[in-house]
C-alpha cells in the first residue's frame, strides 16, 4: 500500500472517529437509548483500530516516530489525553455535568491532535497565537 493511500485512509478514519465520538457524546448528553445499540458499541473499535494501524504503518514507512519527532510525541500524548477524557465522558463520569465537562475537554484534545498533525508543530493551534 502506498504512503499516500495510507495517509488518505488515516485521515478518513480520523474524520469518522471524531464525528462518531461527537455524535456519541451528544447521544450521551441526551440520555439516548441509541447508545446501547450494538453497532455504536462495536463500530468505534473497528474505526479506531484502522486509525491506529494506519498511523503505526505510516510511522514505520516514513521512519518518523514518537519520542524522536516532537510533533509526533505531542500527538501521542494528546491521544492518551483524548482516550482518557473520552472514557470519562462516555462511561466513567459520575454526573451528567462531569460527563459534559469531560466531553468538552475530549473534543478540545481531539482538535489539538488534528492541529498538531496539520501544522506539524507540537504546540498545535496554540502556535497560531
Round to whole Å and give the CA distance between 6 and 50.
10
Q: How many CB atoms lie within 10 A of CB 126?
A: 12
Residue 116 is predicted with a pLDDT of 97
Please state the domain count of the chain: 1
Residue 65 is predicted with a pLDDT of 93
- For the stretch 80-125, pLDDT in tens is 999 999 999 999 999 999 999 999 999 999 999 999 999 999 999 9
Label each residue of 59-90 as H, E or C: HHHHCCCECCEHHHHHHHHHHHHHHHHHHHHH
* Residue span of the structural domain in which 83 resides: 3-124
* C-alpha cell belonging to residue 61: 514507512
- For the stretch 1-43, pLDDT in tens is 899 999 999 999 999 999 999 999 999 999 999 999 999 999 9
Residue 68 lies in a domain: yes
Residue 129 lies in a domain: no
- For the stretch 64-87, pLDDT in tens is 999 999 999 999 999 999 999 999
Round to whole Å and give the CA distance between 28 and 34.
9
Residue 129 is predicted with a pLDDT of 86
Round to whole Å and give the CA distance between 102 and 86.
7
Amino acid at each position: 500500500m502506498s504512503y499516500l493511500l495510507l495517509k488518505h485512509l488515516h485521515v478518513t478514519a480520523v474524520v469518522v472517529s471524531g464525528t462518531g465520538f461527537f455524535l456519541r457524546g451528544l447521544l450521551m448528553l441526551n440520555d439516548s437509548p441509541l447508545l446501547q445499540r450494538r453497532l455504536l458499541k462495536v463500530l468505534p473499535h473497528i474505526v479506531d483500530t484502522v486509525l491506529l494501524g494506519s498511523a503505526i504503518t505510516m510511522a514505520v514507512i516514513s521512519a518518523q516516530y514518537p519520542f524522536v519527532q516532537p510533533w509526533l510525541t505531542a500527538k501521542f500524548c494528546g491521544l492518551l489525553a483524548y482516550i482518557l477524557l473520552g472514557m470519562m465522558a462516555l462511561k466513567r463520569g459520575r454526573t451528567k455535568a462531569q460527563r459534559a465537562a469531560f466531553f468538552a475537554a475530549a473534543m478540545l484534545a481531539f482538535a489539538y491532535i488534528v492541529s498538531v498533525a496539520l501544522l506539524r508543530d507540537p504546540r498545535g493551534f496554540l502556535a497560531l497565537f
